[in-house]
Structures are given as C-alpha cells and as structure tokens.
C-alpha cells in the first residue's frame, strides 16, 4: 500500500511539474507569410522539437466525413512538395478522410504511416503522444481543433478558431530544451 501511495504522489508531482513547466515558458509567434521550401526550412530549428500543424485542404460539400475536393487534393500535393526536403518522422491525423488525404501525398513520399488522434481529446494527445516525442512531426487537423492543439502545446490561450473557409495555414512549432521557449512560425500555402 505504501508503494502505491508513493507512486501516486510521484505521478501527481510529475503532472504538477508538467503544468508548471509549460506555464512559465515564453511563446513567440512570427508571421512569415507565403510558404516556400526555403521559408519552411528557415522556420524549423534543428535544436528544437518540431510540430508542423496544418489544416486539411478544401473538402467536398457532402456528408459528415467528406473527401477532399479537387482544390483540396491540389493543396495536399503542394504541401508534400513544400516539405519534400524536410525530414519528418511522424504523421498524425484525425480519423477523417479530409485530414488523412491532406497528408497522404507527403506520407507516401516519406514512407510514413498515419497515427490517428482523437480531436476531442487533444490534451491526452499532447500528453501521451506528442510531449515526449523527440522528432519532427506533422499533424493534420481542423479549423476548430488546430487552435486548441496549439494552445495545449503552449499551455496558453493564444489561438482562436480558424475561419471555416480558410485552408492555407501552416504552423511550425519549435519547442526548445526544458520547454523554456516556444517559437511558432505561421505560414500560408
């Protein structure tokens, strides 16, 4: 019983430390503008843990789980081209056609499997899948969940919902050692 209480105390202490560490860090957002292969490479710091967060491309207007429209498919191909020379180890997507199809050309090119996350459990996704993942990650989400994901990574309420008609945002999140500093580059493609 004593071991259980000690383990519970250590878990509680680590969760408190996790929240304390995040709340005292500095977060800077830099609007870069047009995404090019060059501006993307310049926005990724080799010393940082990197999360690349994109919204799915334009979708067809049918049903609850639509596929990408032709412009959305073109946007997905363009995204893969922009990141062609960037080493990415993980691809995360919600379990919707449009988010998976947005990353599909990139994932095929880089031989990555999708890891599915639940957009209604973003806090768990960050704590269990992202926070200890020491690589470059690309994440495809939605206009109302990407801001929640950004805020959860930063542990600050900075980002608001993206307009439903806006599909061209890329956020490159650089998290530095000891989580003392986060720099987020906002690009449009």
Question: pLDDT tens digits for 106-126?
Answer: 999 999 999 999 999 999 999
Closest CA to 103 of 66, 141, 140, 69: 140
CATH class of 26-188: alpha beta
Whether 154 contacts 107, CB under 8 Å = no
Beta-strand relationship, 169-175 and 181-188: antiparallel
Q: What's the rounded Cα separation, in Å, for the pair 16 and 22? A: 10
Q: pLDDT at position 16, please?
A: 41
**Percent of the chain at pLDDT above 70?**
87
Residue found by looking up tokens 């379990």 in the block:
95
- Tens digits of residue pLDDT in 31-70: 999 999 999 999 999 999 999 999 999 999 989 999 999 9
Whether 83 contacts 99, CB under 8 Å = no
User: Which pTM was predicted?
Assistant: 0.85
Q: Say yes or no to pLDDT of 134 above 90.
A: no
Q: pLDDT at position 13, please?
A: 39
Average pLDDT over residues 8-18: 41
> 143 CB contacts (<8 Å, ≥6 apart)?
55, 161, 162, 163, 164, 166
Token couple for 112: 């990555």
């Amino acid at each position: 019983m004593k071991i259980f209480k000690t383990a519970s105390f250590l878990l509680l202490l680590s969760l408190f430390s996790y929240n304390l560490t995040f709340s005292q860090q500095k977060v800077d957002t830099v609007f870069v503008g047009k995404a090019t292969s060059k501006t993307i490479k310049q926005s990724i710091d080799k010393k940082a843990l990197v999360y690349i967060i994109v919204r799915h491309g334009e979708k067809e207007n049918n049903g609850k789980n639509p596929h990408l429209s032709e412009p959305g498919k073109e946007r997905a191909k363009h995204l893969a081209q922009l990141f062609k020379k960037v080493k990415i180890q993980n691809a995360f997507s919600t379990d919707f056609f449009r988010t998976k199809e947005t990353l599909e050309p990139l994932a095929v090119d880089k031989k990555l499997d999708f890891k599915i996350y639940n957009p209604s459990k973003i806090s768990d996704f960050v704590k269990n899948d992202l926070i200890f993942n020491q690589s470059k990650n690309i994440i495809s989400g939605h206009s109302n969940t990407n801001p929640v994901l950004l805020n959860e990574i930063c542990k600050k309420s900075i980002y608001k919902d993206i307009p439903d008609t806006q599909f061209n945002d890329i956020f490159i999140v650089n998290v530095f050692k000891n989580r003392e500093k986060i720099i987020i580059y906002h690009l449009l493609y």
